[in-house]
Amino acid sequence: MKKRIAIFASGSGSNAQKLMEHFKRNADAEVVIILTNNPQAYVLQRADNFEIPSHIFTRHEFFQTDDVVRLLKNLQVDLIVLAGFLWLVPQSLLKAFPNKIINLHPALLPKYGGKGMYGDNVHRAILENKEEESGITIHFVNENFDEGEIIHQSKFKIEPGDTLEVVKFKGQQLEHNHFPKVVEALLKKMKS
């Protein structure tokens, strides 16, 4: 039986798209749903393009009810992937899916992690601190922002004169290249 993936995203969903592309014709796994807290998120259009169902939820539904947990349990989800999802994951979801929730972070954790450290905020801080390298981290999710066990890291060099857009582009290249492969490898390690 195919492993079943749920993707949470809050925005454009370029990494969600790479995952949907990667698993579209995969014999071992499939993306079964896209979830978002943002009714305007472009990821909803991307899901529609792949004919993958989506679910929009409110803050109340996510944090005060078990609706999202129930939905994921009913879909028999094996792995939850956070791809640009900006809310802290509630205890109810962590308990229902122990060691089955992963996140992609646009820096080399433990540096540049925590509340408010996402997207351009991360890249700006890296440039302001004149770092010579940056990268991506794929990690398990726990009750704190960006503190779960690290699964994978990839690095890139920051050249003198690199702008925010260049640093962001270098990071996205790593994300798009590594994220689907790491998700696939993780699914293969999971027990049926």
Enumerate the active-site residues. Answer: 105
User: Inter-axis angle of helices 14-23 and 164-189, to 10 degrees?
Assistant: 40
Pick out the residues of the known binding site for (6R)-10-formyltetrahydrofolate.
59, 103
Distance CA 12, CA 119 (A): 12
CA 102 remoteness from chain centre: 7
For the chain, counts of helices (H) and of strands (E): 7, 7
Is residue 154 classed exposed, middle or buried when 0-12, 13-18 and 19+ CB atoms within 10 A define those classes? middle
Taking alpha carbons only, the member of 118, 184, 182 closest to residue 146 is 118
- Classified as helix, coil or strand, 53 is coil
